[in-house]
């Protein structure tokens, strides 16, 4: 079983879109997949066609009332199971405040659960609070979706520090395994520069004793594609909503990278897009001199949506 937390404390970077569509692609490839929706906004639940009704048991019950995962999960597609969120999760932070071991409740619930999933994907909200800490404590791996604009790299250091803290205190095995470039616009030079900077930063960390020492930027870039923005409101994955779209091709390609499969498994009647491979690794520092930052912002930022 691979337990993957999909984390970035920034909102709108593609966490939910990645969790749901990667899960759907892995399920279509025959893997048994469980999505844990740890965001009180319940976007992943809605995206998977399970809009919260306020009555159905959710991960709130698992975290706060020790309800077993088996009670809250439900099958939403063949091979694809969801443990939904509810708005109540927003209160979990406060309700768990005095509880010893509150960061490891989810990990213990997963350990007590005998269901043999191949993949557990955890969609997190835009914070590094107790819900995200539960995901980090329960995960073997972290995927970080990133929207490639300049400030993307600023938030990253805080996120990486948090994974290092969790690794030191509660989950020594957790590794950041991949960065997923989302909302990619190949036409902008800045997007490519951000990827180059990222690769440079990761190259410098290879020998360090940090959870991201083995991380890579996935070769697959998730291009900006309006079909990906449309499908959540239909409660469908991109494969059910627009199987021939670039968005479906990109998430199928990402699933293949995650599976480590070559040549790619094709989900539906798709031709998997071939994107430019990750830029050649250069020793670019992620922290740039102020002049470089200013030059970059002045010259490039307006080109990015
Ligand atoms: N590749 C993409 N192309 C177009 N729209 C996207 C893409 N990825 C995400 N979106 C849209 O951008 C918004 C933010 O994405 P989302 O996955 O919800 O981010 P997060 O979970 O990090 O807040 C959503 O409206 C989503 O539908
Ligand atoms: Mg989200």
Structure tokens at 233: 């409101």
For the cut 50, the answer to whether the pLDDT of residue 278 exceeds it is no
Ligand 2: distance of its center to the CA of 280 in Å? 31
Ligand 2: distance of its center to the CA of 265 in Å? 27
Q: How far apart are CA 197 and CA 250, in angstroms?
A: 22
Structure tokens at 171: 């989950």
pLDDT in the model for residue 155: 84
CB 36 within 8 A of CB 120: yes
For the cut 90, the answer to whether the pLDDT of residue 223 exceeds it is yes
Strand partners, 5: 122, 142
Ligand 1: distance of its center to the CA of 183 in Å? 7
Query: Of 21-35, 61-75, 150-164, 201-215, where does mean pLDDT reach its minimum?
Result: 150-164
- Top pLDDT among 297 and 237 is at 237
Ligand 1: distance of its center to the CA of 35 in Å? 17
Distance between the two ends of the chain, CA-based, in angstroms? 38
What separation in angstroms does the CA of 45 have from each of 38, 42, 87, 228, 256? 10, 5, 11, 16, 24
Closest CA to 115 of 142, 151, 77, 81: 81
Ligand 2: distance of its center to the CA of 126 in Å? 7
- Top pLDDT among 273 and 7 is at 7
Q: How far apart are CA 244 and CA 224, in angstroms?
A: 15
CB atoms within 10 A of CB 231: 25
Nearest CA owner, ligand 1 atom 24: 229
- Ligand number nearest CA of 131 is 2
Closest CA to 282 of 185, 223, 195, 188: 195
Ligand 1 neighbour 222 (Cβ under 6 A): yes
Q: How far apart are CA 49 and CA 20, in angstroms?
A: 11
91-105 confidence digits (pLDDT tens): 998 999 889 999 999
Place of tokens 């790299």: 153
Q: How far apart are CA 138 and CA 34, in angstroms?
A: 14
pLDDT in the model for residue 262: 53
Query: Of 71-80, 129-138, 253-262, where does mean pLDDT reach its minimum?
Result: 253-262
Nearest CA owner, ligand 1 atom 2: 224
CB 18 within 8 A of CB 143: yes
| SS3 of 253-280 | HHHHHHHCCCCCCCCCCCCCCCCCCCCC
Ligand 1 neighbour 44 (Cβ under 6 A): no
Q: Which of 6, 13, 17, 35 to mutate to test the pocket of ligand 1 (most atoms within 8 A of CB)?
A: 17
What residues have their beta carbon closer than 5 A to ion ligand 2? 15-16, 43
123-145 confidence digits (pLDDT tens): 999 999 999 999 999 999 999 99
Query: Of 47-56, 63-72, 248-257, where does mean pLDDT reach its minimum?
Result: 47-56
């Amino acid at each position: 079983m691979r337990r993957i937390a999909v984390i970035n404390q920034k909102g709108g970077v593609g966490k939910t879109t990645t969790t749901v569509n990667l899960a759907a692609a892995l399920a279509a490839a025959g893997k048994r997949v469980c999505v844990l929706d740890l965001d009180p906004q319940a976007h992943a639940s809605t995206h998977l066609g399970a809009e919260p009704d306020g009555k159905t048991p959710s991960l709130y019950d698992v975290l706060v009332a020790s309800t077993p995962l088996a009670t809250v999960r439900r099958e939403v597609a063949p091979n694809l199971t969801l443990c939904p969120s509810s708005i109540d999760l927003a209160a979990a932070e406060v309700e768990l405040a005095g509880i010893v071991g509150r960061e490891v409740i989810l990990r213990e619930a997963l350990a007590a659960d005998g269901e043999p999933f191949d993949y557990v994907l955890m969609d997190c909200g835009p914070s590094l609070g107790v819900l995200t800490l539960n995901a980090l404590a329960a995960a073997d791996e972290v995927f970080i979706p990133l929207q490639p604009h300049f400030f993307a790299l600023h938030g990253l250091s805080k996120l990486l520090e948090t994974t290092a803290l969790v690794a030191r205190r509660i989950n020594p095995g957790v590794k950041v395994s991949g960065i997923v470039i989302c909302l990619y616009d190949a036409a902008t030079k800045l997007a490519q520069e951000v990827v180059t900077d990222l690769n440079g930063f990761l190259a410098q960390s290879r020998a360090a004793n940090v959870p991201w020492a083995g991380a890579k930027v996935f070769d697959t870039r998730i291009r900006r594609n309006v079909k990906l923005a449309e499908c959540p409101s239909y409660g469908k994955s991109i494969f059910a909503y627009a199987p021939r779209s670039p968005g479906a091709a990109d998430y199928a390609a990402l699933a293949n990278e995650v599976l480590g499969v070559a040549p790619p498994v094709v989900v539906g009647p798709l031709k998997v897009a071939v994107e430019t491979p990750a830029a050649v690794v250069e020793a670019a520092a992620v922290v740039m001199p102020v002049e470089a930052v200013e030059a970059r912002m002045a010259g490039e930022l307006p080109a990015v949506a």
